[in-house]
Structure 1
Amino acid sequence: MLHFRACLLAFITLATCVSAQEGNAKIEAKLDTIIKKLDASQGTLNEVAKAVKPAPAPAAAPAAASSPADASLKSDIETVQLNLNYVWMVATGALVFVMQAGFAMVELGFARAKNSINIIMKNFLDFCISAIVFLFIGFGLMFGTSAGGWIGTDSFWISNHPADDKMWAFWFFQVVFAGTACTIVSGAMAERTKFVGYLIYAALLAAIVYPLGGHWCWGSFGGAFGVGGEKGWLEAMGFVDFAGSTVVHGCGGACALAGILVVGARHGRFAKDGTPRLIAGHNIPLAALGVFILWFGWFGFNAGSTLVGNGTIGRIAVNTTIAPAAAALSAMISMWFVQGRPDVGITLNGSLGGAVGVTACCANISPASAFIVGLIAGIITTVATIALERMQIDDAVGAVPVHLCNGWWGTLSVALFNMDGFDAHKLGVQALGTFSVTLTAFTVCFGIFKLVDKMVGLRASDNEQIDGLDFAEHAANAYPDFQTTEQA
């Protein structure tokens, strides 16, 4: 509009000049009238423009408060997740319980037929005893209110919790771990240990020895379930043992080493000059079945240690597959290289060594790293087995190489293969933790076995070993249709 008016004024000026030259007064009067009308029209247009000018955009309205329906939906989702977590703990705890059968089958297969009933009795009763003493003593020492990060001081009697308390699922998941640590020793000391002496040891390990190291490393874990909540001294330093390479397997392996040092080698295992003699197991297929059962249970052992049912369990299960597989191959190949033929026993134990090795680090390493952890674990199993034999230490099933040596290796692997990067300080903490727990377990159990040996006797006599512990301890025969002793 302003441009049009300027043009018009220019035209009027020109016209005015023309009219002045021609002296036409009427034209000037006409033009003045037009200009006045245009001014009036311009004013009207300005007022109209103001009237239709868009109002400024209002400020963003605050977000509407969540409706009661949204809040209810969120609450329902959280409730479902919590219930899923409890189901996950109980289900995976049941898988770990099945590992008791795996340990029994491995020990049965690697031992002689004349000791079968004794082996079944030990593997069955050590869990029964562990469950009772862990209920009354062990759980409180492990997860109760901490005394300076060293030991729990309460939660010894948990029967006053309501029926739907979340603590029950947590207790169940923990008791099967205690049973696992306990039964590791049975295989190492097989075929020459008195039954009563073994049961006394089982009670003391589940009540005191295992909970002690467990509190140092996992003491705060019960806080989310209504018990304790303070960190043990190793946990406070940053020590990580996700599913128990040290807390469970290292502890069990250390106690196994203490036991076989106190009880001595089986009758006839070594010649007078120290030359080792082979004592063949009576059923290797049964031992292989036991390894399969253990591997199956290990998926619950490792993935269940998340204590929650979420997406993290997938990679843990993958790592628990890759490491034992790689370890079985490397153990077989390494022993093949040493003795010129593949050995079934070391192959089976190699896979278990790989499972132990990945137990501590399965949640913070990649599958590629799990492959390396497994390869080295298999070699460790082979080398440690040969070393124990040359030192005339009789480990009937290879529990020390599998559980103690690979417990150390797996715990150090937490720092060595951490996906967030290597940290030398972290490696130092891991080393301090695994050797502190296992050295303590070894020392305490060595004292326990010495005390048991003095009080009730720990070692079966040579005649009892020749006859078989099934006859000597239980007056029974697992295979009545077959001769199972060296004596006719």
Structure 2
Amino acid sequence: MANISVNGVDDLFVLKEKLNSIREEINLLRWPPKEQQNQNAFFHCFMALFIFLMQCGFAFLEAGAVRAKNITNILTKNVLDSLITIISYWSVGWALAYGPNANEALSGLFGWSQFLGFGLDNFSRFFFQYVFAARASTIISGAVAERAEFTTFLAYSLFVPAIVYPILTHWGWSDQGWLARGIRVDSSNYHTTYMDFAGAGVVHLCGGVISLVAAWMIGPRVGRFSPNGHATRIEGHSVPLASLGGFILMLGFLAFNGGSAVDIARPGSGQLVAKAMVITLICGAFAAIVVLIEHKLWHDKWTVLLTMNGCLTGMISSCAGCNQMEMWGTVITGMGGGLFYIGFSKLLLKLRIDDPLDAFAVHAGGGLWGLISVCIVSNQPGRGLIYALFSWSLTTILHAIVQFGWQLLAAIVIILWSGLLVIPLFGFLKLVHKFRVPADIERKGIDIWKHGEDAYPLVAYGHGWDEMEGNIEQMINQHEVEKKLKDRMQQHPSTNSSTSPRYVATIWHDPDKYGTLNRRKQNADNGQNNGVTTIL
């Protein structure tokens, strides 16, 4: 009886594969291949649009988390990130990731065809994979915000989607990739494989590790850490903007995970997509609650920004296994994601590494835990440790342990590949002084000095006073404003920004100037020469 039980458990996976092949044959009779291709193409393009919208979420999140003097810089980066990524992924990245390789000895390492789109015919898959590549690239900017040269953004936006990310996706997601093919465990038909349904490893762990390397090599922002190692909090300029960005990212992650279903025309795929979305949201909820409660217990505050980060970490943790976990698995995956975020965030502070948006804690923490948790809660035979333990089959337990080891190997490979490959890139930029802006520009703000565009220009804060007095432009012109700002900067060289609200209030809301203007306006309206009204 014991042998029958063991063999029965071992054959479950093979039987399931046979049933799936029979379903596919029946499906071919119901839906011609061309109609299935059209359905899949529309589904992937539709989901890719929401994932593309995540770039807007990153833009709002990063803009709200930085100071007002650096908003134009971070927004310009987000605009160009999507544009540069499509060029690098189209020219090189796609070919290395999914281009067929005729050399069997090297086919497990990288693709080698369809460069510059020659021979490319599956444009829906290309578009879907492109938006994933863009997300892996845009993660990095949050870690180096407010002090990176614009050349740095351009360099990694070209390099990561062209080389780093595509090779990883070939290893893990291509049918030829060595991680995806796995190893044969014993005399049975069981093979290990890389379990990552929606990119917890190849997208988020990759981007998070690069963020860590970039933040470590570029150094902390001016004033972030005192000489004795004490961390000084640097506030972002807009909680509403950051929160809006977080909500957009939450929406995008539902499409990120749900859209990873390869064949929507296959029977049952619709339910798989819906289940993946529900699991993603629940994982985010549990992670957010963990972070919220932890911060309340230790700091006695209810925080919205850290709660949002916790939610995003939980959703990232679900990326690896949202297609193969039951609802109870969301508790383990989500709460674990919240704990990983807290631990990784505190670790960086201990190491005095400045990550303004916690990009490493969110993406690397969530991605790493996602790769681990799927091996714990997976409902596939021989894949999940919990199901294997309750099967009471030594063979199944052995398979699950080997699969867990294979998944850990994949995580280590992703960390080493992502981290080691970008060190020479950032090192070269540092050598030629194109990695970080000078300290004086960092203090004054990157927007005006590097872009010539202030996110909140002083001349926009007229509040209608020009309608009350025709010569206001002569009284307070741009030259006068800039002169006063420079004088104040010389008096207070440690002040963070020339567009600080204290300057705006001092110059544009001068009671003497506006009180005089208001008196003139009121006297003209009433035909009087007396009476004073002061507007502060």
Q: What TM bracket, shorter-length normalisation? A: 0.7 to 0.9
Is residue 420 of structure 2 the alignment partner of residue 443 of structure 1?
Answer: yes
Which of 415, 431, 451 pairs up with 2:375? 415
Contact 1:245 1:356 in 2 (8 A): yes
Cα distance, 1:409–1:76 mapped onto 2, change above 3 Å: closer
| Kept after mapping to 1: 8 A contact 2:179/2:410 | no
Shift of 1:124: 1.1
1:31-66: CA deviations, max 9, x gaps? Answer: xxxxxxxxxxxxxxxxxxxxxxxxxxxxxxxxxxxx
Q: RMSD value over aligned CA atoms?
A: 1.9
Partner of 2:406: 429
Q: Which has the larger radius of gyration?
A: 1
Q: Does 1:323 align with 2:293?
A: no
Structure 1, unpaired ranges of 5+: 1-70, 221-229
Amino acid at match of 1:305: S
1:405 equivalent in alignment to 2:361? no
SS in 2 for 1:157: helix
Deviation, 1:113, is: 0.9
Please point out which of 297, 309, 316 is paired with 1:337: 297
In structure 2, which of residues 127, 130, 141 is the aligned counterpart of residue 186 of structure 1? 141
**With structure 1 as the length reference, what TM-score do the two structures score?**
0.80
Equivalent in the alignment of 1:109: 64
Q: Assess if the C-alpha contact under 8 Å between 1:197 and 1:453 holds in 2.
A: no
Q: How has the CA–CA distance of structure 1 residues 485 and 425 changed in structure 2, closer, same or farther, with 3 Å as cutoff?
A: same
The DSSP-based 3-state class of the residue aligned with 2:57 is: helix
Shift of 1:440: 1.1
Find the counterpart in structure 2 of residue 223 from structure 1.
none
Q: Aligned partners of 2:107, 2:35: CA distance in 1, in Å?
A: 37
One-letter code aligned to 1:210: Y
Match among 259, 264, 267 for residue 214 of structure 2:
259
Query: C-alpha displacement at 1:77, in angstroms?
Result: 5.1
**Match in the other structure for 1:380:** 340
The alignment's TM-score, normalised by the length of structure 2, stands at 0.73
Looking at structure 1, the residues matched to 33 and 90 of structure 2 have their Cα atoms a distance apart, in angstroms, of 30
Q: Does 1:156 align with 2:115?
A: yes
In the TM superposition, residue 442 of structure 1 has moved relative to its aligned partner by 0.7
**Residue 152 and residue 308 in structure 1: after superposition, are their counterparts in 2 closer, same or farther (change >3 A)?**
same
Find 1:231's aligned residue among 177, 196, 200.
177
Residue 307 in 1 paired to residue 266 in 2? no
Q: Which letter maps to 1:241?
A: D
User: Measured at CA, do residues 363 and 72 of structure 1 come closer, stay the same or move farther in structure 2, by a change above 3 Å?
Assistant: closer
Deviations 1:400-444 (A, max 9, x none): 000012111001111111113421111111111011112210111
Given that 1:107 and 1:187 are in contact with CA atoms closer than 8 Å, whether structure 2 keeps it comes out as: yes
Partner of 2:255, secondary structure, is helix
Residue number in structure 2 paired with 1:24: none
Contact preservation (8 Å) 2:109, 2:177: no
Structure-2 separation of matches of 1:359 and 1:137: 26
336, 350, 354: which one aligns with 1:394 = 354
Counterpart contact for 1:141–1:152, Cα < 8 Å: yes
Between 1:458-467 and 1:78-87, the stretch displaced more is: 78-87
Q: What do residues 336-388 of structure 1 show as CA deviations (whole Å, max 9, x unaligned)?
A: 22222222221110001001100111111012211221111112112221221
1:363 is matched with: 323
Report the alpha carbon displacement of residue 75 of structure 1 after superposing the two structures with TM. 6.1
**Distance between the aligned counterparts of 1:347 and 1:463, measured in 2?**
34
Deviations along 1:149-194, one digit per CA (max 9) or x if unpaired, are: 1111112132445xxx4x0000000000000000000111100000
Report the CA distance shift for 1:72/1:231 in structure 2 as closer, same or farther (over 3 A): closer
Give the match for residue 452 of structure 1: 429
Quote the residue 2:533 is aligned against: none
Percentage of matched positions with identical amino acids: 33
Query: Which amino acid in structure 2 is aligned with residue 154 of structure 1?
Result: S
Aligned to 2:528: none
| 1:201-231: CA deviation from partner (whole Å, max 9, x where unpaired) | 21011110111211111122xxxxxxxxx23
Q: Secondary structure at the match of 1:240?
A: coil
1:235 positional shift: 4.1
